[in-house]
Amino acid sequence: MRDGYIARWKGAEYDSSPDGAHVRLYSPTGGDGFVEVADGRFRRGVPIGELEDFFYVRTVGTWRGEPFLVLGASGDWLRLEYCGGRADVARSLGLEPYDNGVYQIWAPAEEVKDIAEQYL
């Protein structure tokens, strides 16, 4: 599930994060100019003007008729975060309070419908 900044540079897409006039690109395999910052995680800074594209993407879906962000997956389960904004609905669905006004749950993947990426 994609959720975060994506940069396209030299024909490839990378997880990324903005850093002023530069963007940090992240790769699991490294490459020219990438520096290993953790096991299996490499980073390279690129001036924003060199990017072919730069956008934010998140994965959304519906569960039991309500809107959710799809945060991750584990086996046949998806981690969902409610984005309907109604605490009474969150409670009625049995969602777990994660933070003030934030509700999440693990749901069977086959029950999550309309999964799509939103580009912001």
User: pLDDT of 45-75, one tens digit each?
Assistant: 999 999 999 999 999 999 999 999 999 999 9
Closest Cα partner for 6 from 28, 14, 107? 14
Contact 103, 68 (CB under 8 A): no
> Alpha-carbon distance 119 to 86, whole Å?
24
Contact 6, 15 (CB under 8 A): yes
Long-range contacts of 17-21 (CB under 8 A, 24+ apart): 18/48, 18/54, 19/45, 21/47, 21/48
pTM given for the model: 0.79
Q: Which two tokens stand for residue 2?
A: 């994609």
pLDDT, one tens digit per residue, over 65-113 is 999 999 999 999 999 999 999 999 999 999 999 999 999 999 999 999 9
What would the DSSP string read from start to end of 12-25? Answer: EEEEEEEETTEEEE
Question: Which pLDDT band, with edges at 50, 70 and 90, does 31 fall under?
Answer: confident
Question: Which pLDDT band, with edges at 50, 70 and 90, does 30 fall under?
Answer: confident
